């Protein structure tokens, strides 16, 4: 579970200034990133450290931003694809596809310098909200925070924190 949480957190990755994408908030994620996420022992996460490398590229012009994430927690290595789309109303959508073929959608809210992803799952019959916030203090770095709530979002428990840095173009 720690690797899955870290993967969700680091899958959101970058900022390439291309003329066609400059006004699209997804451009924050275009490029290559390296990251480290530390998860804490809780009911929904296992203590550990995950490292990752994410390459995000435009497909279909700027219709899709596809991110290829490779990660390891020191024991398990994995890969996943994340697809970012933009709806006609200007909202953004995030879908993650893992190497086993499973897919996962997360509600996505975009504010200046902050991307927030929220989803819900059930654990032991209890509904759990999972929130991932990626905060960009600058276009070449973002901080990750992963939280869970079992009371509808009134109180949150931190499951992990991470950092991601852009890999400079050669």
Please count the structural domains in the chain: 1
Could you tell me the two tokens for 136?
A: 């960009």
How far does the chain reach from its first CA to its final CA, in angstroms? 35
Q: What are the pLDDT digits (tens) for 31-67?
A: 999 999 999 999 889 999 999 999 999 999 888 999 9
Pairwise CA distance, residues 96 & 5, whole Å: 12
Global confidence as pTM: 0.82
Q: What are the pLDDT digits (tens) for 71-114?
A: 998 888 999 999 999 888 888 888 999 888 888 888 888 888 99
CATH code at position 77? 2.40.128.20
Question: Domain limits at 29?
Answer: 2-166
């Amino acid at each position: 579970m720690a690797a899955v949480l870290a993967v969700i957190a680091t899958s959101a990755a970058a900022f390439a200034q291309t003329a066609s994408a400059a006004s699209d908030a997804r451009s924050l994620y275009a490029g290559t990133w390296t990251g480290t996420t530390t998860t804490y022992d809780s009911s929904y996460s296992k203590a550990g450290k995950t490292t990752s490398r994410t390459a995000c590229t435009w497909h279909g012009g700027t219709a899709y931003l596809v991110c290829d994430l490779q990660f390891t927690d020191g024991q398990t290595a994995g890969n996943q694809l994340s697809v970012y789309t933009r709806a006609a109303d200007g909202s953004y959508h995030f879908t993650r596809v893992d190497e086993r073929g499973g897919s996962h959608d997360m509600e996505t809210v975009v504010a200046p310098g902050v991307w927030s992803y929220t989803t819900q799952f059930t654990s032991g019959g209890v509904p759990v909200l999972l929130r991932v916030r990626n905060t960009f203090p600058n276009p070449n770095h973002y901080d990750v925070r992963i939280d869970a709530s079992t009371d509808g979002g009134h109180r949150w428990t931190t499951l992990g924190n991470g950092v991601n840095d852009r890999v400079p173009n050669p």
